[in-house]
């Protein structure tokens, strides 16, 4: 683990070096593809080291979860970028219409310059390297500020990227919130920030000084609606995966479940069965991730304490020794039944293995509950009846949707990923990210002969032509 921290005062020099190098030698298709392939090879070779660093930062994290979420996803995204890059870089022809014939027009994707990436702690490699790789694919240079809450993983990223890129193409800076604020307020050509809505507002305010374009990947309360026709055993299995992977520390994890009232208890039983089948009695819990740090652990425990104090049913799916739980920052999967709307766990994004299960009288009531909240980052609808799914999709605006499962829309390379309103701004992944980190430069090519040569006073001589054009 490195103790190196970047002085915010050093940022202007770092940015100058990145921009000067980019101006002197803008990346070609060949360089971009070579950079991505070298990054892929370096990461693949160091996956065990990556998983060990992440686990050490969390206190314990399943190696398999790290390999899936922070290894496989990044490698797959790089493969997708490399496979489509030459096509995305081609100019696109645009029709000019008869008024401008015989001119021709095109849009040409050109890189922006220097892209900043401020990445979070929950998937510290995935959410750092996917936007970074996308920025590289778009022909930019990058400055990355990883999370201070995962220092070992941040040191790994710094080492990995120094192995692949020269310092004037990719720079890694390390520090706390003050450094992040300074970076957000720097004259970047684009900035990608992943984190909470509260911090996202501050990032946006800081970026406004230089009118820096933003991609904000935030959070919120992502609902799951289980319709009356959907089998509860399958719903419980897929909800358990989405909610308890990484111990719920996932921005698109189901934040609460809405289920028809007469099946609520059965869903709870099915969820208990799923957890017990996956993790047993938690005596080992090798496949279960711990809470990232003490502050997060105490916040989550506070949510449960408040619910209990209000007489709300709180069901811990397993029992572990309280001293062990405190020592390991271990919170077992926990279900909360019908919590009132004013509880903290129903007002704030949970970001942990706590799942409110709320009964609703009918689908319209479930939709109304979702509509009463900020637009979510993710929406999950479980139904085999297409008409019911379409009813939800027609009335709820969300950042992304998975039908009859959870999380997976994030992993599909061809789908844009992004929020809406308080859950985010803009989108990235694959083509969406490439376009966001490029300038679609419009170009009009005038011909040797052009009607514009005639558009000059006295306009009285052009009355007939103008009458034809203005219609």
The CATH number of the domain holding residue 397 is 3.40.309.10
| Domain contains 460 | no
Beta strands at 256-260 and 314-316: parallel, antiparallel or unpaired: unpaired
Q: State how many domains the chain has.
A: 2
**CATH number, domain with residue 78:** 3.40.605.10
Nearest Cα to Cα of residue 400 among 384, 418, 421: 418
Contact 433, 109 (CB under 8 A): no
Q: Does residue 449 lie within any of the structural domains?
A: no
93 Cβ contact list (under 8 Å, min separation 6): 104, 105, 106
Residue 295's Cα: distance from chain center in Å? 23
User: Which residue blocks in 59-125 are alpha helix, DSSP H?
Assistant: 63-66, 73-89
Same domain for 322 and 176: no
184 and 240: one domain?
no
Residue 373: which domain range? Answer: 223-411
In angstroms, the CA 455 to CA 451 distance is 7
Asked if residues 218 and 422 have their Cβ atoms less than 8 Å apart, the reply is yes
Give residue 470's pLDDT.
81
Identify whether residues 12 and 128 lie together within a single domain.
yes
Nearest to 356 by CA among 332, 381, 331, 337: 337
* Helical H segments across 232-382, by residue range: 232-244, 264-279, 294-309, 322-328, 344-347, 363-371
User: Cα–chain-centroid distance for residue 269?
Assistant: 32
Q: Give me the sign of the Cα torsion angle 21, 22, 27, 33.
A: positive
Last residue of a domain, one of 391, 411, 431: 411
First-to-last CA distance in the chain?
70
Residue of 65, 227, 251, 358 marked active site:
251
The dihedral formed by the CA atoms of 109, 113, 114 and 119, expressed in degrees to the nearest 10: 0
Q: Are residues 186 and 206 in the same domain?
A: yes
191 lies in the same domain as 283: no
Partnered with residue 276 across adjacent β-strands are: none
- What is the number of helices (H) and of strands (E) in the chain? 19, 16
Task: Establish if 62 belongs to a structural domain.
Answer: yes
Is residue 471 included in any domain, yes or no? no
| Alpha-carbon span 213 to 184, nearest angstrom | 11
Residues 175, 178: Cα–Cα separation, whole Å:
7
Rounded CA-CA distance 349/215 in Å is 20
**Residues 186, 71 share a domain:** yes
Judge whether 247 lies within some domain.
yes
Is the same domain home to 209 and 347?
Answer: no
Distance CA 343, CA 55 (A): 32
Q: Residue 450's pLDDT is what?
A: 86
Residue 468 lies in a domain: no
Segment holding 436, helix H or strand E: helix 430-436
Beta strand pairing status for 354-360 and 256-260?
parallel
Shared domain check, 163 and 58? yes
Residue 153 forms part of a structural domain: yes
Phi, psi of 6 (to 5 degrees): -90, 130
Taking only the tens of pLDDT, the chain with its 471 residues reads 445 799 999 999 999 999 999 999 999 999 999 999 999 999 999 999 999 999 999 999 999 999 999 999 999 999 999 999 999 999 999 999 988 889 999 999 999 999 999 999 999 999 999 999 999 999 999 999 999 999 999 999 999 999 999 999 999 999 999 999 999 999 999 999 999 999 999 999 999 999 999 999 999 999 999 999 999 999 999 999 999 999 999 999 999 999 999 999 999 999 999 999 999 999 989 999 999 999 999 999 999 999 999 999 999 999 999 999 999 999 999 999 999 999 999 999 999 999 999 999 999 999 999 999 999 999 999 999 999 999 999 999 999 999 999 999 999 999 999 999 999 999 999 899 999 999 999 999 999 988 888 778 887 877 877 777 787
Residue-level length of the chain? 471
Q: With respect to residue 467, please indicate whether it lies within any of the assigned structural domains.
A: no
The residues pairing with 357 across neighbouring beta strands, listed in sequence order, are 257, 337
pTM: predicted TM-score of the whole model, two decimal places: 0.94
Of 390, 411, 432, which closes a domain?
A: 411
Alpha-carbon distance 73 to 410, whole Å? 9
Is 310 in the same domain as 269?
yes
Picking from 366, 339, 347, the residue whose alpha carbon sits closest to that of residue 422 is 347
Residues 323 and 361 in one domain: yes
Active-site annotation holder among 65, 217, 227, 349:
217
User: Angle at the Cα of 59 (from 54 to 60), degrees rounded to 5?
Assistant: 70
Same domain, 72 and 199: yes
| Closest residue by Cα to residue 77 from 426, 467, 434 | 434
Q: Same structural domain for residues 50 and 145?
A: yes
- pLDDT for 1: 45
Return the pLDDT at 3: 55
Confirm whether 217 is a catalytic residue: yes
> Is 251 annotated as catalytic?
yes
């Amino acid at each position: 683990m490195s103790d190196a921290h970047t002085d915010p005062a050093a940022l202007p020099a770092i940015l100058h070096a990145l921009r000067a190098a980019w101006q002197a030698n803008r990346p070609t298709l060949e360089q971009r593809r070579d950079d991505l392939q070298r990054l892929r090879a370096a990461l693949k070779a160091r996956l065990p080291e990556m998983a060990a660093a992440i686990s050490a930062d969390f206190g314990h994290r399943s190696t398999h979860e790290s390999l899936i979420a922070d290894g496989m996803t990044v490698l797959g995204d790089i493969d997708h970028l490399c496979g489509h890059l030459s096509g995305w870089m081609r100019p696109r022809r645009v029709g000019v219409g008869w008024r401008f014939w015989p001119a021709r027009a095109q849009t040409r994707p050109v890189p922006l310059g220097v892209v900043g990436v401020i990445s979070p702690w929950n998937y510290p490699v995935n959410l750092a390297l996917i936007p970074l790789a996308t920025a590289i694919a778009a022909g930019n240079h990058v400055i990355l500020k990883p999370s201070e809450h995962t220092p070992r993983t941040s040191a790994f990223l710094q080492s990995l990227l120094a192995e692949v890129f020269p310092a004037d193409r990719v720079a890694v800076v390390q520090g706390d919130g003050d450094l992040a604020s300074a970076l957000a307020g720097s004259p970047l050509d684009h900035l990608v920030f992943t984190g909470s809505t509260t911090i996202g507002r501050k990032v946006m305010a800081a970026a406004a000084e230089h009118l820096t374009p933003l991609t904000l990947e935030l959070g919120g309360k992502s609902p799951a609606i289980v319709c009356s026709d959907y089998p509860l055993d399958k719903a419980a299995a897929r909800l358990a995966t989405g909610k308890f992977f990484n111990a719920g520390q996932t921005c698109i994890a189901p934040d609460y479940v809405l289920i028809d009232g007469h099946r609520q208890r059965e869903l709870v039983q099915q969820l208990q069965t799923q957890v017990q089948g996956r993790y047993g009695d938690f005596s080992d819990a090798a496949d279960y991730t711990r809470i990232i740090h003490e502050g997060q652990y105490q916040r989550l425990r506070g949510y449960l304490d408040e619910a209990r104090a209000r007489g709300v049913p709180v069901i811990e799916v397993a029992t572990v020794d309280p001293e062990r739980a405190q020592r390991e920052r271990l919170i077992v999967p926990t279900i909360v039944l019908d919590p009132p709307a004013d509880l903290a766990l129903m007002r704030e994004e949970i970001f942990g293995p706590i799942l409110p299960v709320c009964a609703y009288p009918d689908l319209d009531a479930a939709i109304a509950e979702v509509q009463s909240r900020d637009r979510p980052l993710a929406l999950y609808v479980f139904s085999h009846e297409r008409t019911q799914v379409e009813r939800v999709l027609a009335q709820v605006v969300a950042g992304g949707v998975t039908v009859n499962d959870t999380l997976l829309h994030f992993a599909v390379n061809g789908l844009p990923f992004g929020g809406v309103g308080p859950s985010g701004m803009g989108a990235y992944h694959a083509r969406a990210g490439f376009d966001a980190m490029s300038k679609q430069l419009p170009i009009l090519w005038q011909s040797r002969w052009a009607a514009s040569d005639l558009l000059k006073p006295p306009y009285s001589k052009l009355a007939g032509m103008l009458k034809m054009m203005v219609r």
